[in-house]
Amino acid sequence: MTVEMRPLGNSGLSVAPLALGGNVFGWTADEATSFRILDAFVEGGGTMIDTADVYSAWVPGNTGGESETAIGKWLKRDPSKRDKVVIATKVGFLGGQMVDGEYVAALEPEAIYSGCEASLRRLGIETIDLYYHHKDNPNVPLPDSLGAMDQLVKAGKIRAIGLSQYSAERLDEAVETAEANGLTKPSVLQTWYNMVEREKLEGELLQAALKHGLSVVPYYGLANGFLAGKYREKDDLTKSPRGQRSAQYLEPHAF
């Protein structure tokens, strides 16, 4: 099968157009199911697997890292798969905290260094292909948080840098900070975007990404399953622990 590959900004990485989100691994997808999904994804020409250290710490009995651990076990079962996939993970939510009703990401350099080591250990790999700030933290100076990412690149721990949940203004500031300080520039913006919520990207944020040559990788691309046809009426929301996330879409404008 021939799949058109798309570059991830200036990273030197190229991926197939559809990425596989690993949020459910170790949560609503058990190990056997996770392995079947991952196998089918690669066999179908998929290359990019997206996860995060915090997946799925919100589940009773979990502590975070469950998704990375599942992916790591899958890779260990068949090490040849490592060369076929681009692994993206994120740092900041695991170890962050609520402040005045707002979740503050842990992006201090030591949190980034320790988070990276823990992710590498769970994934069972030597290098993370794409490593994201999971969420902006304006309280941590960008030279510090981006400087830590740059050090990880130079140490061979990560290949490329991504920024998730950044505003247009902060995206500009981050790229300009990297350029001014001789740091590795971010390659990817990850943001909320799907066909019923286009305004979350289109406009200033998209223009900022384009100006800096960043690739855009959306999350909630299927609107929590609504665009896949999983939820069509309120009774459908009980079919999954994730169902209530789609309640907002059961309105005329979304249909």
Q: What is the pLDDT of residues 16-46, one digit of tens each?
A: 999 999 999 999 999 999 999 999 999 999 9
Query: How far is Cα 82 from Cα 248, in angstroms, rounded to an integer?
Result: 38
Predicted structure pTM score: 0.95
Four-way CATH pick for 6-221: 3.10.50.40, 3.40.190.10, 3.40.50.10490, 3.20.20.100: 3.20.20.100
Supply the DSSP symbol for 16. -
Higher pLDDT, 15 or 248: 15
Provide long-range contacts, Cβ within 8 A and 24+ apart, for 12-17. 12/159, 12/160, 13/86, 13/129, 13/130, 13/159, 13/160, 13/187, 15/47, 15/48, 15/86, 16/45, 16/46, 16/47, 16/48
Residue 34 contacts residue 68 (beta carbons within 8 Å): no
Residue 102's pLDDT is: 85
Q: Is 201 exposed, middle or buried (0-12, 13-18, 19+ CB in 10 A)?
A: middle
194-229 pLDDT, tens per residue? 999 999 999 999 999 999 999 999 999 999 889 999
Among residues 55, 132, 166, 193, the one annotated as catalytic is 55
Active-site annotation holds for 55: yes
Answer yes or no: are the C-beta atoms of 140 and 108 closer than 8 Å. yes
Per-chain mean pLDDT for the chain:
95
Of residues 109, 93, 210, the one with CA closest to residue 150: 109
